[in-house]
Amino acid sequence: MKKNIYSILRGKFLVSDDSFKNWRIIIFISILAIIMIASSHSADQKVYEIARLKNEAKDLRSQFVDGRGTLMRLKKASQIEIEMKKKGLLISENPPVKIKVKTQN
C-alpha cells in the first residue's frame, strides 16, 4: 500500500513502459477540464448579460411609466388651458355651434 502511494507521488506511472495508456487518460481528462472551464465561463457571461438586460428592462419600464404619467398630466384640460394662456390664447366664452348643411336635389 505504502509502495503504491509512493510510486504515484513520484510519478512512476508516467514514465514506465506501459505509460502510453496513462498519458491518453491524462490528456483526455485535461481536455475535458478545459471544456468544462470554457463552458462555465460561457454560462457566467450569459448570467451577467441576463442581469444587465433585466436592469435595462426595469429602467425602460420606469421611463415608460414616467412618460405616460407626464402625458396624462399634459392631457388635462386645466393644464392645456395654462399652456394656452402662456401663448396668448383664451377659452371661448360662447359654446360651439353645430352647423347643418342641407343638400339641394
DSSP 96: P
Domains held by the chain: number: 1
Q: Has residue 57 been placed in a domain? A: yes
Mean pLDDT of 16-44: 89
pLDDT, tens digit, for every residue of 74-85? 899 888 888 888
Q: Has residue 97 been placed in a domain? A: no
Instruction: State residue 90's pLDDT score.
Output: 85
Average the pLDDT over each of 7-11, 23-27, 43-47, 100-104 and give the range with the smallest value: 7-11
Note the pTM of the prediction, 2 decimals. Answer: 0.55
Look up the domain containing 61 and give its range. Answer: 2-87
Mean pLDDT of the chain: 88
Distance CA 27, CA 24 (A): 5
Q: Has residue 8 been placed in a domain? A: yes
